[in-house]
Amino acid sequence: MEQQTQVGNWGRWGAEDERGTLNLVDPKGVAAAAHEVRTGKAYGLGLPIQREGAPIFEYRGAPQRLTLTSQTDNAFQDFPGGSEVGANEDVLVIASHSITHMDALCHVQHRGKFYNGFDANTFRSHTGAERCGIEKLGAFALRAVLLDLPRLRGVEFLEPGYVVTRADLDECVAAQGVEIRSGDALLVRTGHLDNFKNETSAGREIPFAQAGLGVDAVSFVREHDIAAVGADNSAIEVIPFDNEQFLSVHIALLVELGVPLLEHLWLTELAEGMAAAGAWSCLLSVSPLPVTGATGSPINPIAIL
């Protein structure tokens, strides 16, 4: 008989589970997370959705807001009183994995399998994901902890290509004096988006390389039973990819552990507010668009400190 090796969290919540570590978030935990609200200030962590200055990979293209109808079209003049009223409407064209977004568990497959061992061949171009689409995750709220690595190191941003290790995360937890609990979201600030904003607004190119988690840091997520991981970079993980393996940290987090990823989070103001409050935890609410079979969704998470 063929020996089955246990992969990460596969089977932990049953053979049919498509929610991964979001199973760690329960109503009791959400009620407890509400006690993390200290100042009452809400921070939107989504980047502006605009053509100019969006951090995108070339093949995804910039987000586009196109006017569908405007007040100048007089399109509604046949309605009662319509000649005195104008209405404006848009169409949005956005690659779901550009700007601030969440990766569903079907975003990446490894050796033909999604999270929980689901066959990646069930993904179809026209219908999308039969298994582990974003609609299976839905909206959630939980306690979140922010680890501010540039603040720890006394720099504006980590060097592009810097591999964030388990030791970095442990050191940051100790320096910030924050407790990590099972079912928390982990938010990692690298300073990448600050550097991106500064350099592009000055008309300079930024390198393809980005600081981010290395494979070694995955043990932090696994051992603390983290429910979701977010960061202020493009892919959570370091680029170029650690171990010279394409998407090595995506494989470990999304496929093996079933951890949803929150990318391109704007964490700078939240980090400043947390430093001023002397508290590195908050209540976080995340709501992906429930697009059936989708691999990800734009999000504008709200952190309430």
Q: Note the residues at the interface with ligand UVW (CB under 6 A).
A: 97, 103, 107, 234-235, 263, 296
Query: What is the nearest approach in angstroms of ligand UVW to the Cβ of residue 136?
Result: 17
Query: What is the nearest approach in angstroms of ligand UVW to the Cβ of residue 240?
Result: 12
Nearer to ligand UVW, 17 or 263 (CB): 263
Nearer to ligand UVW, 183 or 230 (CB): 230
Query: What is the nearest approach in angstroms of ligand UVW to the Cβ of residue 220?
Result: 19
Nearer to ligand UVW, 150 or 260 (CB): 260
Nearer to ligand UVW, 36 or 103 (CB): 103
The closest alpha carbon to 190, from 224, 228, 254, 237, belongs to 237
Query: What is the nearest approach in angstroms of ligand UVW to the Cβ of residue 84?
Result: 46
Query: What is the nearest approach in angstroms of ligand UVW to the Cβ of residue 234?
Result: 5
Structural contact between residues 295 and 133, judged by C-beta atoms closer than 8 angstroms:
yes
Residue nearest to ligand UVW (CB): 97
- The CA distance from 239 to 249, in Å, is 10
Q: Dihedrals φ, ψ of 190, to 5°?
A: -110, -15
Nearer to ligand UVW, 107 or 131 (CB): 107
Query: What is the nearest approach in angstroms of ligand UVW to the Cβ of residue 64?
Result: 19
Nearer to ligand UVW, 100 or 176 (CB): 100
Tokens of 217: 């840091």
Query: What is the nearest approach in angstroms of ligand UVW to the Cβ of residue 194?
Result: 19
Nearer to ligand UVW, 24 or 294 (CB): 294
